[in-house]
Chains A and B, each alone.
Chain A
Amino acid sequence: EAGVVQSPRYKIIEKKQPVAFWCNPISGHNTLYWYLQNLGQGPELLIRYENEEAVDDSQLPKDRFSAERLKGVDSTLKIQPAELGDSAVYLCASSFGFDTQYFGPGTRLTVL
């Protein structure tokens, strides 16, 4: 069974540019999470979806970050415009309800 797929794996952009990350969860998993992980830190939840509904986006900086999960499967996380402090690893995870979360390998973003 395929795990959580994320792309791209690495992205380097200049500040003020837009960037988007894509996540394909494990088939059948209705819950999808986006996390941000800074170097040497634990993951921090940005947004949690149950199917296509964002049920917890309290930690998402809405002035520059947006996310969507239109058909309740794939999801996209966007940053516009990116800032130097956005450099981090962006992790996607999925689960069936509140069961075990399975994480993707993450997208490492570097903002120059």
Chain B
Amino acid sequence: TQLLEQSPQFLSIQEGENLTVYCNSSSVFSSLQWYRQEPGEGPVLLVTVVTGGEVKKLKRLTFQFGDARKDSSLHITAAQTGDTGLYLCAGEGRDDKIIFGKGTRLHILP
């Protein structure tokens, strides 16, 4: 069974600080996606990474796919209160099946 483990589960930091959250697996994924979900809403796709070692930037967010395509990280620079939410990673594994991690719940304090 392919699993994605996200860490930390919860993170609460002050506005303006930097943070990194992780998504790890023992399995290889052909691509990996990061979503953000706000209360009462469905997940919204932030980025898809497909190449080992790939780095993508989305304003203050930097996404990295591990060289072996088994792990990924999301780094947020100068966090803002609007970054608060549940961050989910999802991998496309065997049989084109999308598997989600349990998420990191991020709370940015003003």
Beta-carbon contacts under 8 Å, B27-73 to A: 40-45, 48
Interface bin, chain B: 10 to 19
CB A28 to nearest CB in B, in angstroms, measures 18
Q: State whether A56 touches B97 (Cβ < 8 A).
A: yes
A42 to B97, CA, bound (A): 15
How many residues of A are counted as interface, with CB atoms below 8 angstroms from the partner's CB atoms?
A: 18
**A103→B43 contact, CB < 8 A:** yes
The CA of A42 and the CA of B92, in the complex, are separated in Å by 15
Partner of A4, one of B42, B45, B95, B101: B42
B75, CB-defined interface residue at 8 Å: no
- Kindly state the separation between the CA atoms of A43 and B89 in the bound complex, as whole angstroms: 10
Contact B42 A105 (CB under 8 A): yes
A98 near B42: Cβ-Cβ < 8 Å = no
A43 touches B43 (CB 8 A): yes
In the complex, what residues of B have CB within 8 A of residue A43's CB? 43, 88, 100
Residues of B within 8 A of A (CB): 40-45, 48, 88, 90, 92, 95-98, 100-103, 105
- Known interface pairs A4-B42, A43-B43, A103-B44; 6 further A-B residue pairs with C-beta atoms within 8 A, sorted by A's residue number: A42-B100, A42-B102, A56-B95, A101-B45, A101-B98, A104-B42
